[in-house]
Structure formats: structure tokens, C-alpha cells
């Protein structure tokens, strides 16, 4: 019988129990012992659920109290020097992720091309050593629940080092880890582990080609030192970078992605490279919520089975990237709901597909096929849209002309200060929104409350002496979900939460049909805010690429067509804001870099499509209207040309957690437009010192002109508490004034 395996399960829980548990500990509402007890209960429930679904190989070690890469850093004693005087315990673990009063947090980056963020390991000269037996303990615990179906999961040494910072000698760093991995593997085998999943996704990237010899050496070492360990060389998000070379490394099995790396991985299979190998085939999309096309997937599995020694069916990647279950989504159109598959439904899919491959008839398989076909035939996927040929796709004038006109209108000081858009969503904001959704208060009562919060924060911003204000986004749960609730072609869920970083969860909307602007999205709140102040107020929108990348997108049309549909919708909203007298409009493209294909050969087409959609959204405005955008943590050197081509008047970028690495992208090239490099980290509760902010501003001014530089926090402030937010913004403004004074501007 064909077995089924899973790579990882969502940590959040159906009702975000995990998030609430972690945050209760941070708020000192529960003890460490209570945290560990409740975390164990959740962990075991996830294992049991997968066992009940018929999964033959159940991941162990995917559960984390923050991030699986951070878990590994702590296990190996890879602790930044600034934290070296602290005991390696739970407090240090969370301090590495969130910072503390004394030290800034470790850098945080996107996990390949996903919206999940990992904590970057920071290497020092101290040699790695095992500080705990975490994975072994979790495996022994799991065996008590699921027996020998438990499958330990660990990120492989090559990927781990490749994603680290502070590594001066890659080969030496990897070699220093090998005895530690050997010990981990040996103990797991002695405890009864059959397979051990070793995640090496670096080998689907172009960078992976540089590590082919390292892969041979590393896995040759494991084969010799721990020959009884059945290692699965697991990759995902793309095809193997060099299947011919990698197929020969001495491992028990290969995990390959046949969704996002279908074409190349299938070619490798059909070329006979894995004919004598065991292959764990990722045929169910672990990153999107659509039900699988069983007819096509079953054909694929037959081909794979014919060309491999043994086949195991699994998702394309960890199910960390999708919500838990569709069972709570009772308000969705039945045709749409039956065409969706969250984590639990994907586990059912892999089981049904494996049974079908074995010739086992199952009514649920046929029902699934019928539901899939019904969704494809639905009439909501075809709507008449605006003719793109009638849309302006370039600004009327060049930036130097626009800048003069805008400055004449706005009269901003040197180094203007602003924030990214959102302000803290207090418990009162969340309670009032929930009461409104439940019908406990009227629409008018809710609108009056939102307006009172806007007015309060306008006063706060003016008292802080911030130059360009925002309305605070108190009416928005999420910067993408909010738009998904108001645009045609989107739907939102009740409990479709996905982990983004730490306890931060997002609820991506689902793009199921053609997208169209059908009502004002932000005009009321923005115009009201502007009526309260003489200072300029930014209209706050999310851009077409970020809306796409942070949604569960439809896959039945080209991505470029989807980008353009959303671009047209945002264009219509910008026109309403501009007509209402709003002088500055921010169109966030926080996820532009995130969607960049992992292979360079595919990147230009994506960036061209992204730039084109941004132009569709923003190019129809007058010269005097200032367009801003914002981007999150990225390797900006890879997309700097595309950033320039966006032709936004001002771009703000998260940089503070990079400890200056990202700023280098803008210090080594000429950037001609307005720019704000985030001067403090909003993901940490720590309030920065004035000296730190001054230093961040002055470093940027070594390359950038003071006339083009804006001062802003790293990102939106929604997740922060009000006192720390106000304190941090006070520092930001005072530091800016200090730098202005040094520059002779009064």
C-alpha cells in the first residue's frame, strides 16, 4: 500500500490557541510551567489529529514556541555575542526573537518566497555545541501518541548555515555542525526513529548550485557515521537545482515538490534519475487553499510510481502556510467551500490520492472530483473588466519635476517624519469591532467609535510634531483582508489564520473570481482625518502585488492578469482619494520581494509584471499628488532596479533589524527618489534610544541626500502597545530634530 507523509502541521490551532498561549506568557498571565503544559497538550492534539487522518509518517519537531530555525540556533548554542551573558533558557529564547531592554532582537527574514518569517542565526567565533535534547525529547513524547509513525524533522546543516549571518567560512561552519547532527541522528535512531526528515530547501535556489559538493560531503559523512539513519533529503518551493548531481547523494529518500517545481522535477523522474530511489512526492499544494485536481494529480502519481523504486504521497511543503480546517467556514458559498482544502482537508487529499493509486475505490474521491469541477464551472470567475489600453501606465512628468510641485504644495521640512500607516489596536478597538460584527452595536455606533480613535491619534501625532499624519487604520484587521472584504472577486474566512512571525497571525483573503472596484474602500476615514488637521494626511492603500502575495490567489488565470485586475481596482480608489483632496497616497508593496521566484531565470518576468501593475494603479495621478510605497524585509539588492522602476515619489523600507545590511543596497547604488529607511524596529517592544535613531539616520545620509530622506519606523505599529509606541515616536522626532540642527536646518 502507498504510504502518506506530512512535512509539518500549523502551530496556531483552530482558534489560535497557540497564539493566545504564547502571548499570555509574555504578558505574565501564566507561568513557564503552565506554558509548557498547555503547549504540550496542543502538540499532542496535533499529532493525534494527523494520526486519525491516516498519515503514516507524522512530523515531529515542526511545533515551536516561536520559530523552528530559532529552535535550532538555541539547540546548537548559536547565540549572538550581545546575549552571551544570559543563561540559555526560555527567556533568552524569546529575547533573541523579540529583543529586551538591553539588546535588539536578532534579524528576521522571509522564509524563501513565503510570508513566514524566520529568526536569522547569528554566528560568533564560539564553536557550536548541543545545549539541549529538544528533538529527541519531542520524538519520545510523540511515540507515546503515534508510535513508530513519528518522523523527526530538522533543518539540514547546509540550509541552516546558508541562511545564517556572521558566517566567515561556510565550509568550516558546516563542519562544526556535523558532529552535533550526528549525535542528534544517532540518538533518534536509538530511540526508534525510522525516517528522519532533513529539510534542505536551499537546493531549489540558484545559490544551491554552489553547495553541491558540500551536499555530497555532508551526506556522505552521515551515511558513514550513522548508516542506520534513514534520511529524507527534503526540498520544497521549487525543483532541485541539479537533480543529476543530487540524486546520487547517499540518503534513503528524496522529498520533491511536484507543485511548484513540477516541470523540472518531473523531467528528472522521467529521465530515470530516481528509478532506484524512494521518493516522497509533494503533489498537494501546501501553500494555497484550493482543492487538488484529482484527475491530473492521479495521472502524475502513476507516472511517478512507474519511475521510482518506492513512492510516498505528501503535500508539497509544510502545511504551516495554510489555515487549519474549512469546517468552521459555514458562511462561504457551498460551491466555493467545497473547492477549498486547508491543512486537515489536504491530509484527507493525500490519503485519497494514495488509495486511488492503489486501486482502492472511495466515494469521497468521486465527491472531491465533482466539487472541483463545479468550482471551475462557476460563473463568478468571468467578469467584464476595464480595457487596459485606455489606462495610463507612466507618470505624466519625471520625478524632479514632480518633487518641486509636491514640495510647493506640501511645504514639508527637511527630513520629514511620518509613520507607515497603522497605530496600536488596543483591546478596546478589538472589543468594539467584535461587538459590531456580532450586531451588539449599530453601524453608526461603530463608525463614531472609529472616528473618536482617529481624532485621538491625530491629536497624539500633532503633539508629537510628526509632519505627515495617518488615520491609524483602526477599522482594519489586516492590510490585505480589509481590501478583500470590499473588492469583488474576494472572500474572507472566519478562522483562516496563518502564522506570519512569532505569535503574529494573518488571515489572507481568498481570490476566487475576477477582481473589481465596486465601492469606496478608504475614502471616508481618510477624508475625515484630513478634516481634523492642517498637516498632510496619507491615504493608505495596499498594492496589487502585495494583495496577491498575501492572499490565497486563484490559479486558473495568469498571475500577471490577476496583478492587473487588482491594479485597476486600486487605480479607481486612488482617483477617489485624489478627487477628495488627499495630497499623499501610500500604496504599500510590502510583499514585492517575497513573491520573487527562487530562480533568477524566472525573476525578470515577475518583476516586469509587478512594475506594470503598480504603474496601472498609480500612474493616472496628477504631478502634485505624492505616491508613497512601503516594503518589508528583503534582499533589496536583488530588486533595486525594479524598485526604481516603480517610480514612487517616496519609498519606505524596513531596515533596522538588518543591523545595516539592507542599507548597503542603497549605499552602493544611486537611488534618485524619496526614501525612508526604517530607523527603529517595530517588531520588538523595546523603545530605541535617541543615539540609536540618530546613528541610523546619519548612516543613511552618508549616501542619500537629506532632501530625499524621510524618517519613519520600520513598519506599521498595529501590534505594539500605545505607551511604547508614543515613547518610540517621541525618540524618532527628537532624533530627527537633532540631525536637522546638525545640518543647519531650523
> Hey, which residues are catalytic here?
683
**Lookup: cell for 658:** 538588518
Helix (H, G, I), strand (E, B), or coil: what is residue 602? helix
DSSP string, 354-400: HHHHTT---HHHHHHHHHHHHHHH-GGG------GGGS--S-SS-HH
* CA distance linking residue 408 with residue 589, whole number of Å: 27
Mind spelling out the 3-state secondary structure of 601-639?
HHHHHHHHHHHHHHHHHHCCCCCCCEEEEEECCCCHHHC
Q: How many CB atoms lie within 10 A of CB 25?
A: 20
Burial (CB count <10 Å: 0-12, 13-18, 19+), residue 528: middle
Backbone angles phi, psi at 468, to 5 degrees: -120, 125
Contact 159, 200 (CB under 8 A): yes
Q: Tell me which residue of 283, 354, 317, 292 sits closest to 56, measured CA to CA.
A: 354
* CA distance linking residue 619 with residue 393, whole number of Å: 5
Annotated binding-site residues read: 16-19, 110, 115, 420-422, 473, 550, 588, 594, 630, 632, 654, 715
Q: How many CB atoms lie within 10 A of CB 386?
A: 16
Annotated binding-site residues for 5-methyltetrahydropteroyltri-L-glutamate read: 16-19, 110, 115, 550, 594
* CA distance linking residue 396 with residue 406, whole number of Å: 14
| Cell 505624492, located at residue | 626
Residues 6+ apart with CB under 8 A from 51: 58, 145, 146, 149
Annotated binding-site residues for L-homocysteine read: 420-422, 473, 588
Q: What is the DSSP secondary structure assignment for residue 211, as one 8-state letter?
A: G
Which strands form 538-542's sheet, in the order they lie side by side?
Answer: 538-542, 584-588, 626-631, 650-653, 674-677
Residues 6+ apart with CB under 8 A from 443: 436
* CA distance linking residue 383 with residue 329, whole number of Å: 25
Q: How many CB atoms lie within 10 A of CB 330?
A: 8
Helix (H, G, I), strand (E, B), or coil: what is residue 320? helix
* CA distance linking residue 709 with residue 740, whole number of Å: 12
Q: How far is CA 76 from the centre of its chain?
A: 25
Radius of gyration of the chain (CA): 26
**What length does the chain have?**
746
Backbone angles phi, psi at 542, to 5 degrees: -110, 140
Residues 6+ apart with CB under 8 A from 221: 178, 182
Residues 6+ apart with CB under 8 A from 4: 54, 55, 56, 57, 312, 313, 314, 347, 350, 351, 354
* CA distance linking residue 627 with residue 741, whole number of Å: 28
* CA distance linking residue 178 with residue 110, whole number of Å: 26
Contact 565, 514 (CB under 8 A): yes
Contact 345, 34 (CB under 8 A): no
**Lookup: cell for 215:** 551536499
Backbone angles phi, psi at 117, to 5 degrees: -110, 135
* CA distance linking residue 712 with residue 418, whole number of Å: 5
* CA distance linking residue 56 with residue 3, whole number of Å: 6
Strands 498-501 and 504-506: antiparallel
* CA distance linking residue 326 with residue 496, whole number of Å: 8
Name the region of 619 (left: φ>0; alpha: ψ -120 to 50; beta: rest): alpha
Amino acid at each position: 500500500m502507498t504510504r502518506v507523509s506530512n512535512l509539518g502541521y500549523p502551530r496556531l490551532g483552530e482558534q489560535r490557541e497557540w497564539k493566545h498561549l504564547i502571548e499570555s506568557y509574555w504578558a505574565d498571565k501564566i507561568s513557564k510551567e503552565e506554558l509548557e503544559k498547555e503547549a504540550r497538550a496542543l502538540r499532542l492534539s496535533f499529532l493525534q489529529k494527523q494520526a486519525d487522518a491516516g498519515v503514516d509518517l507524522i512530523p515531529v519537531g515542526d511545533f515551536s514556541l516561536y520559530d523552528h530555525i530559532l529552535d535550532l540556533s538555541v539547540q546548537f548554542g548559536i547565540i549572538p555575542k550581545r546575549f552571551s551573558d544570559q543563561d540559555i533558557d526560555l527567556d533568552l529564547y524569546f529575547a533573541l526573537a523579540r529583543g529586551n531592554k538591553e539588546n535588539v532582537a536578532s534579524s528576521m527574514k522571509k522564509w524563501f518566497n513565503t510570508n513566514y518569517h524566520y529568526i536569522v542565526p547569528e554566528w560568533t567565533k564560539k564553536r557550536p555545541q548541543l545545549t539541549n535534547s529538544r528533538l529527541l525529547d519531542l520524538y519520545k513524547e510523540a511515540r507515546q501518541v503515534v508510535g513508530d509513525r513519528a518522523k523527526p524533522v530538522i533543518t539540514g546543516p547546509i540550509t541552516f548555515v546558508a541562511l545564517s549571518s556572521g558566517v566567515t567560512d561556510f565550509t568550516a561552519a558546516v563542519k562544526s555542525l556535523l558532529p552535533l547532527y550526528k549525535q542528534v541522528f544517532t540518538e533518534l535512531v536509538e530511540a526508534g526513529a525510522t525516517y528522519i526528515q532533513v529539510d534542505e530547501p536551499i537546493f531549489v535556489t540558484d545559490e544551491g548550485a554552489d553547495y553541491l559538493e558540500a551536499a555530497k560531503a555532508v551526506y556522505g559523512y552521515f551515511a558513514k557515521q550513522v548508516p542506520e539513519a534513514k534520511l529524507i533529503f527534503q526540498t520544497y518551493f521549487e525543483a532541485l537545482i541539479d537533480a543529476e548531481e543530487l540524486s546520487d547523494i547517499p540518503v534513503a529518500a528524496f522529498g520533491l515538490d511536484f507543485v511548484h517545481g513540477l516541470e523540472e522535477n518531473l523531467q528528472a523522474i522521467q529521465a530515470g534519475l530516481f528509478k532506484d530511489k524512494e521518493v516522497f512526492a509533494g503533489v498537494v499544494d501546501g501553500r494555497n487553499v484550493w482543492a487538488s485536481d484529482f484527475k491530473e494529480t492521479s495521472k502524475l502519481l502513476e507516472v511517478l510510481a512507474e519511475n521510482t523504486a518506492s513512492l510516498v504521497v505528501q503535500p508539497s511543503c509544510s502545511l504551516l502556510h495554510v489555515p487549519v480546517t474549512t469546517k468552521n467556514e459555514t458562511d462561504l458559498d457551498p460551491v466555493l467551500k467545497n473547492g477549498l482544502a486547508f491543512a486537515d482537508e489536504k491530509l484527507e487529499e493525500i490519503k485519497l490520492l494514495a488509495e486511488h493509486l492503489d486501486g482502492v475505490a472511495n466515494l469521497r474521491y468521486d465527491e472531491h472530483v465533482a466539487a472541483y469541477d463545479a468550482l471551475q464551472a462557476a460563473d463568478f470567475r468571468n467578469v467584464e473588466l476595464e480595457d487596459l489600453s485606455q489606462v495610463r501606465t507612466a507618470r505624466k512628468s519625471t520625478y524632479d519635476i514632480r518633487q518641486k510641485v509636491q514640495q510647493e504644495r506640501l511645504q514639508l521640512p527637511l527630513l520629514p517624519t511620518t509613520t507607515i500607516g497603522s497605530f496600536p489596536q488596543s483591546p478596546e478597538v478589538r472589543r468594539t469591532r467584535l461587538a459590531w460584527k456580532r450586531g451588539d452595536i449599530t453601524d453608526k455606533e461603530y463608525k463614531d467609535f472609529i472616528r473618536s480613535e482617529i481624532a485621538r491619534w491625530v491629536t497624539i501625532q500633532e503633539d508629537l510634531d510628526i509632519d505627515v499624519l495617518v488615520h491609524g487604520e483602526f477599522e482594519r484587521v489586516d492590510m490585505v483582508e480589509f481590501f478583500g472584504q470590499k473588492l469583488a472577486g474576494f472572500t474572507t474566512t472566519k478562522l483562516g489564520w496563518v502564522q506570519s512571525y512569532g505569535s503574529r497571525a494573518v488571515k489572507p483573503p481568498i481570490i476566487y473570481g475576477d477582481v473589481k472596484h465596486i465601492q469606496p474602500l478608504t475614502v471616508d476615514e481618510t477624508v475625515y482625518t484630513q478634516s481634523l488637521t492642517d498637516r498632510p494626511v496619507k491615504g493608505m492603500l495596499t498594492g496589487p502585488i502585495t494583495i496577491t502575495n498575501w492572499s490565497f490567489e486563484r490559479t486558473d488565470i495568469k498571475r500577471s492578469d490577476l496583478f492587473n485586475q487588482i491594479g485597476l481596482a486600486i487605480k479607481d480608489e486612488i482617483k477617489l482619494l485624489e478627487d477628495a483632496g488627499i495630497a499623499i497616497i501610500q500604496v504599500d508593496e510590502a510583499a514585492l520581494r517575497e513573491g520573487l521566484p527562487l530562480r533568477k531565470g524566472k525573476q525578470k518576468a515577475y518583476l516586469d509584471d509587478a512594475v506594470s501593475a503598480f504603474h496601472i494603479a498609480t500612474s493616472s495621478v496628477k504631478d502634485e499628488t505624492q505616491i508613497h510605497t512601503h516594503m518589508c524585509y528583503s534582499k533589496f539588492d536583488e530588486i533595486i532596479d525594479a524598485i526604481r522602476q516603480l517610480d514612487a515619489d517616496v519609498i519606505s523600507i524596513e531596515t533596522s533589524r538588518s543591523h545595516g545590511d539592507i542599507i548597503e543596497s542603497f549605499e552602493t547604488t544611486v537611488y534618485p527618489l524619496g526614501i525612508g529607511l526604517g530607523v527603529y524596529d517595530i517588531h520588538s517592544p523595546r523603545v530605541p534610544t535617541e543615539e540609536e535613531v540618530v546613528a541610523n539616520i546619519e548612516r543613511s545620509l552618508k549616501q542619500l541626500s537629506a532632501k530625499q530622506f524621510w524618517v519613519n519606523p520600520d513598519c506599521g505599529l498595529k501590534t505594539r502597545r500605545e505607551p511604547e509606541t508614543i515613547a518610540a515616536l517621541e525618540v524618532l522626532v527628537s532624533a530627527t530634530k537633532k540631525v536637522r540642527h546638525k545640518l543647519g536646518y531650523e
